[in-house]
């Protein structure tokens, strides 16, 4: 079975005025990914099914589990594509099994079968009160970011979007230092998946926590994105579009900086103004 890639080539008909030309076009691949937890006595338990762009699948699984509080940093023993005999060949690279250090935690997140989508993220995520049970407010870190650094982030993110350049149909999330240096960028059809991939990358390369970094996302900022950033201890989240009301509430509740409408040389700072240095 051929492993799916981030792009899929199709034949289309391009219309320009009254002229028609048949040609090839690249689309962003969208396929399901099932995330399973290996049970100590054998077998597995499915905890999520998400639509995603193939690539960095292990990072996506790790980041999702961390963001939802299913595991703590350092709690993942291994991740592999599933080779169960009952699995159809075409699903082999769309199913990953995660093994944890120690037993599977008894968490509310495992009381139901997560079904996520590339469009809306996890439905019914825990409220702010439940989030306090596993995440405390971020400590005062003395981080100071200049407006000039902020204004350069959207273009830096766009330059790093290789698959978007081919398809025009992907979201992106980028991790940057407080000085604006690019650390890592991930793309996906799902906004939330891009952040999961970044957090998963940091977990699998033993870089957590991500204190002192900036998360830049290509779309709007939702509660789920802020929750995932908080789980990785990312203090500052920036976006080219608007945040939701609950995203702002979460940022203010947990001491995070939230920047929206970051375009050109302007932006709105919704929370954590103290980290933005303005003379």
The 10s digit of each residue's pLDDT in 69-86 is 889 999 999 999 987 777
Q: Say if residue 154 is in the same domain as residue 260.
A: yes
Give a yes or no: residue 21 inside a domain.
no
- Into how many domains does the chain fold? 2
> What is the domain range of residue 124?
31-132
Report pLDDT for 93: 87
The values of phi and psi at residue 181, to 5°, are -75, 135
Mean pLDDT by 10 residues, the chain (279 residues): 80 79 85 90 86 93 92 94 76 90 69 47 51 82 92 94 72 95 94 95 96 94 92 96 89 93 92 89
Q: Say if residue 211 is in the same domain as residue 121.
A: no
Q: Say if residue 37 is in the same domain as residue 86.
A: yes
What is the C-alpha radius of gyration for the chain, rounded to an integer number of angstroms?
A: 19
Q: Say if residue 160 is in the same domain as residue 255.
A: yes
d(CA 170, CA 161): 8
Q: Say if residue 195 is in the same domain as residue 228.
A: yes
H or E element in which residue 63 lies: helix 57-67
Report pLDDT for 4: 79
Q: Say if residue 72 is in the same domain as residue 173.
A: no
Report pLDDT for 7: 85
Q: Say if residue 215 is in the same domain as residue 169.
A: yes
Report pLDDT for 133: 76
Give a yes or no: residue 158 inside a domain.
yes
Residue 120 is a catalytic residue: yes
Number of H helices, E strands in the chain: 7, 12
* Structure token digits, residue 135: 């995440």
Report pLDDT for 112: 45
d(CA 160, CA 49): 28
What DSSP character marks residue 104? P
Write the CATH number for 269. 3.40.140.10
Q: Say if residue 268 is in the same domain as residue 182.
A: yes
Q: Say if residue 41 is in the same domain as residue 65.
A: yes
Of 105, 87, 110, 104, which Cα lies nearest the Cα of 38?
104
Give a yes or no: residue 52 inside a domain.
yes
Q: Say if residue 167 is in the same domain as residue 270.
A: yes
Among 78, 109, 132, the domain boundary falls at: 132
Q: Say if residue 161 is in the same domain as residue 267.
A: yes
Give a yes or no: residue 59 inside a domain.
yes
Q: Enter the pTM of the model.
A: 0.84
The values of phi and psi at residue 264, to 5°, are 60, -130
Give a yes or no: residue 6 inside a domain.
no
Give a yes or no: residue 141 inside a domain.
no
* Structure token digits, residue 66: 């961390």
Among 75, 100, 132, the domain boundary falls at: 132
Give a yes or no: residue 18 inside a domain.
no
Report pLDDT for 120: 41
Q: Which of 120, 135, 238, 267 is catalytic?
A: 120
Give a yes or no: residue 26 inside a domain.
no
d(CA 226, CA 195): 10
Report pLDDT for 1: 61
What DSSP character marks residue 118? T
Provide the 10 A C-beta neighbour count for residue 147. Answer: 15
């Amino acid at each position: 079975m051929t492993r799916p890639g981030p792009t899929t080539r199709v034949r289309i008909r391009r219309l320009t005025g009254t002229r028609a030309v048949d040609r090839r076009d690249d689309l962003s691949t969208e396929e399901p990914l099932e995330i399973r937890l290996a049970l100590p006595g054998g077998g597995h338990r499915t905890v999520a099914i998400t639509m995603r762009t193939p690539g960095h699948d292990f990072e996506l699984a790790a980041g999702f589990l961390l963001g939802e509080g299913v595991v703590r940093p350092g709690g993942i023993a291994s991740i592999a594509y599933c080779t169960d005999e009952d699995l159809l060949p075409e699903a082999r690279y769309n199913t990953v099994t995660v093994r944890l250090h120690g037993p599977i935690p008894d968490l509310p997140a495992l009381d139901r079968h997560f079904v996520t989508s590339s469009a809306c993220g996890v439905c019914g995520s825990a409220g702010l009160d439940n989030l306090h049970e596993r995440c405390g407010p971020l400590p005062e870190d003395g981080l100071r970011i200049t407006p000039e650094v902020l204004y350069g982030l959207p273009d830096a993110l766009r330059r790093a979007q290789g698959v978007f350049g081919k398809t025009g149909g992907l979201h992106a999330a980028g991790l940057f230092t407080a000085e604006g240096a690019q650390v890592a960028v991930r793309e996906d059809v799902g906004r939330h998946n891009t952040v999961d991939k970044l957090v998963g990358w940091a977990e699998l390369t033993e870089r957590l926590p991500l204190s002192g970094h900036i998360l830049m996302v290509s779309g709007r900022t939702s509660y789920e994105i802020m929750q995932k950033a908080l789980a990785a201890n990312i203090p500052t989240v920036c976006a080219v579009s608007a945040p939701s009301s609950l995203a702002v509430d979460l940022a203010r509740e947990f001491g995070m900086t939230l920047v929206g409408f970051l375009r050109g040389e302007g932006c709105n700072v919704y929370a954590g103004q103290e980290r933005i240095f303005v003379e």
